[in-house]
Amino acid sequence: MPKPDNIFTVAREWTTKADNDLKNALHTLKLGKECPTDTVCFHAQQCVEKYLKALLVALEIQFPRTHDVEVLVLLVPKSIRINLTVEQQRRLTEYASMTRYPGSYEIISLSEARQAVKLAQRIQQRIRKLLEKKPLF
């Protein structure tokens, strides 16, 4: 965990990386029917994961090295609503693990990829609002 005087800097580093993942997903979606949907969903998951880690850093909560969104959400205090269903959390985690490497998994539709990006955008907005509140720092 970073030192208290470094928390803001580290949280900002996480959000910068998360924003880059979202930019990649949005840019790749522009390919339409030629879009590699697995890549889009991977970057959407990475955006959500990194925003959650930024929030945890800001709250000075230790977190394990993981891509499991559900594990990260469970670490967020109950008083802070993230608004991700368990099903959404698990699906995002699948995007980080199953679609990242060759294997047998169902092809992700363009519609599902778009939904994953919308979900990432929603989490980005939610956590950005939380990080702007002074009591977190």
Q: How does pLDDT run across 16-57, given as a tens digit for each residue?
A: 999 999 999 999 999 999 999 999 999 999 999 999 999 999
The residue ranking higher by pLDDT, 98 or 28, is 28
Q: How does pLDDT run across 55-81, given as a tens digit for each residue?
A: 999 999 999 999 999 999 999 999 999
- Of 8, 91, 23, 90, which Cα lies nearest the Cα of 54? 8
Q: Which domains does the chain have, with CATH numbers?
A: 4-136 (1.20.120.330)
| pLDDT of 13 strictly over 80 | yes
The continuous run of DSSP H or E covering 4 comes out as none
Measured in whole angstroms, the distance separating CA 33 from the mean position of its chain's CA atoms is 24
**CA pair distance 130, 100, nearest whole angstrom:** 30
* 51 CB-side CA count, 13 A: 26
Q: Provide the whole-model pTM.
A: 0.92
| pLDDT of 137 strictly over 50 | no
